[in-house]
A and B are shown apart, each in its own frame.
Chain A
């Protein structure tokens, strides 16, 4: 599983656009990039997934450059309810490293009024 690096935390204000970048230098050819959102005491929720270029759905956009070594999750006009931990996950579990969290530490986004 490709190792991912994300900022530990980010702060924003209501109505702003938030961009969270994830680095994944050793992404494999067949790996997809998936982002999850987790609220306290709840299971992670799928937000968006992509392979290359740009993907957009009703809640977010995902930008992936041509070399695919990073990706950026874009949340338009965030609200207080977007305060959560966001995880970037690359590939599948075909290369699990025992003892390591495949989801990494995630980015804690705090949206302020």
Chain B
């Protein structure tokens, strides 16, 4: 158990809908990362927050947005869903924001499996 929690575990929805994925980081971690992993694909970095502020942005679609709240939990919002958005969405957390040191070690949650029908 990494200490990172994600809800829900599974989500099934229809095209055009909007969903929200939730992540609670490990106690003491200030940084949250979101990744998308499609079937048989690598981990695609979406976005990172550090202490409530957006820190880094990857290949995140405009239909997707995220935020980190004062209690440090984070939500990833996916809207106007398409079939291709079906994937595993992982959240990770780390102590520091990504300066390259050992406190950048990311600890991953169990993921949310999103199925768009």
Give the A-B contact count at a CB cut-off of 8 A: 88
Cβ A32 vs Cβ B42 within 8 A = no
Across the interface, which residues of A come within 8 angstroms of B12, CB to CB?
none
Tell whether, in the assembled complex, residue B110 and residue A43 are in contact, meaning their CB atoms are under 8 Å apart: yes
Q: In the complex, are the beta carbons of B45 and A30 less than 8 A apart?
A: no
Chain A residues with CB under 8 A of B99: 30, 92, 94
We find that the number of chain A residues with CB closer than 8 angstroms to chain B is 29
Q: Across the interface, which residues of A come within 8 angstroms of B113, CB to CB?
A: 41
Prevailing SS type, chain A contact patch: loop
By a CB distance below 8 angstroms, the chain B residues around A43 are 2, 4, 90, 92, 108-111
Cβ-defined contact, A92 with B97, below 8 A: yes
- The reply to whether the CB of B104 lies closer than 8 angstroms to some CB of chain A is yes
B42's partner among A46, A99, A101 (CB-CB below 8 A) is: A101
Which residues, 80 to 102 on A, are CB-close (under 8 Å) to B?
87, 91-94, 96, 98-102
B101 touching A92 by the CB < 8 A rule? yes
The answer to whether A96 touches B57 (Cβ under 8 A) is yes
**A34 interfacial contact with B, CB 8 Å:** yes
Q: A92-B98, A92-B100, A92-B104 are in contact. Are A41 and B88 (CB under 8 A)?
A: yes
Given A32-B102, A92-B101: A41 touches B58 (CB 8 Å cut-off): no
In the complex, are the beta carbons of B97 and A42 less than 8 A apart?
no
1/0 per residue A18-37: CB within 8 Å of B? 00000000001011101010
Question: Within 8 Å of chain A (Cβ to Cβ): is B117?
Answer: no
Residues of chain B within 8 A (CB-CB) of A87 are: 43
Are B43 and A101 in contact (CB-based, < 8 A)? yes
Q: How far is the CA of A31 from the CA of B10 in the complex (A)?
A: 35
Q: Does B56 contact A (CB under 8 A)?
A: yes
Name 12 extra pairs, CB < 8 A, besides A44-B106, A99-B58, A100-B58: A34-B105, A43-B111, A44-B90, A44-B92, A46-B106, A51-B102, A87-B43, A92-B104, A94-B98, A98-B59, A102-B45, A105-B42
Closest 9 CB pairs of A and B: A43-B108, A92-B98, A93-B98, A92-B104, A99-B59, A30-B100, A103-B43, A101-B42, A96-B56
Query: What are 28 A-B pairs at a CB distance below 8 A?
Result: A28-B100, A30-B101, A32-B105, A41-B88, A41-B113, A42-B111, A43-B2, A43-B108, A43-B110, A45-B2, A46-B105, A46-B106, A87-B43, A92-B97, A92-B99, A92-B104, A93-B56, A94-B99, A94-B100, A96-B45, A96-B48, A96-B57, A96-B58, A102-B43, A102-B45, A103-B43, A104-B42, A106-B42
